[in-house]
Amino acid sequence: MKFPDYSAIKDWYNTTPKLWTIDMVAEAVKCGNITADQYKEITGEDYPAPKS
């Protein structure tokens, strides 16, 4: 299991003030810590297609 994992990222994104930005959550998808579906669960937005 990679750290940070889904649970930690979700907590950090949803705290007030936010400890993680939406860009940081997207980076976690790129690094394989969470899936694109988990990104949507955390942020409420679709994971943006990677830029070429």
Whole-model pTM: value is: 0.90
What is the C-alpha separation between 24 and 3, in angstroms, rounded?
Answer: 14
DSSP calls for 8-48: HHHHHHHSSS-SS-HHHHHHHHHTTSS-HHHHHHHHSSPPP
Looking at residue 15, its pLDDT comes to 95
| Residue 26: predicted pLDDT | 97
| pLDDT recorded at residue 52 | 66
Residue-by-residue pLDDT tens, the chain, 52 positions: 789 999 999 999 999 999 999 999 999 999 999 999 999 999 999 999 877 6
Q: Two tokens at 23?
A: 């860009």
